[in-house]
Structure 1
């Protein structure tokens, strides 16, 4: 069954939707969340693309940023999948 998804820290909260959602409102909410992830991703990619940062920052800091990027990309992908499922609802 289709569920609304919200990331809360490291936890993912699923709420069964059935006929309980306003499709357009949920699509708008997901678009806003995807946009937020896009901005986070661009910021990290900029930082990691900055040779000054990667050359001078301790390796642990660079790895932490790479980990964040991976998390943001995964979260974005999940939001896109959720949006696509909702867009298919009648």
Structure 2
């Protein structure tokens, strides 16, 4: 689950992060510390029964909650740059699709399937734009 989350967030495997594992089964996780250090890309593993951290990625499993501090895994400036580019792309695609739908000739001549595809693009890129804006606010 940790490696999947890191991949979703585009965190390179070489970037180490401190893991906080909140669990009621510390004996089990103490035995697996080496696993977390090697396979999950952890720099340190803290096993505890409570975690009070802000700005973390949270991974929930049936036996534990795993917290990874964002500043350990994300280069904020690089992430802001990446998100800004993604926002620009989404806005350009939105503008392009909207201009087609605003064109009366396009609407009257294009097959319904093509018009619907442009409407779907507007929905898709609006959603992407909103998610990117939310992610930028959180940085």
**TM-score by shorter chain over 0.5:** yes
Q: Where does the alignment leave 5 or more consecutive residues of structure 1 unmatched?
A: 1-12
Shift of 1:75: 0.6
Moved over 2 A (4+): 13-18
CA distance in 1, matches of 2:129, 2:98: 14
- TM-score, normalized by length of structure 2? 0.50
Count of residues paired in the alignment:
75
Asked if residue 40 in structure 1 is aligned to residue 93 in structure 2, the reply is yes
| More contact order relative to length (CA 8 Å, sep ≥ 6) | 1
Richer in strand (by share):
2
Q: With the length of structure 1 as denominator, give the TM-score of the two structures.
A: 0.75
* 2:103 matches 1:50: yes
Residues 21-57 of structure 1: CA deviation (Å, up to 9, x unaligned): 1111111110111001111011001111110000111
Q: Which SS does the other structure have where 2:73 is aligned?
A: coil
Deviation at 1:70, TM superposition (A): 0.4
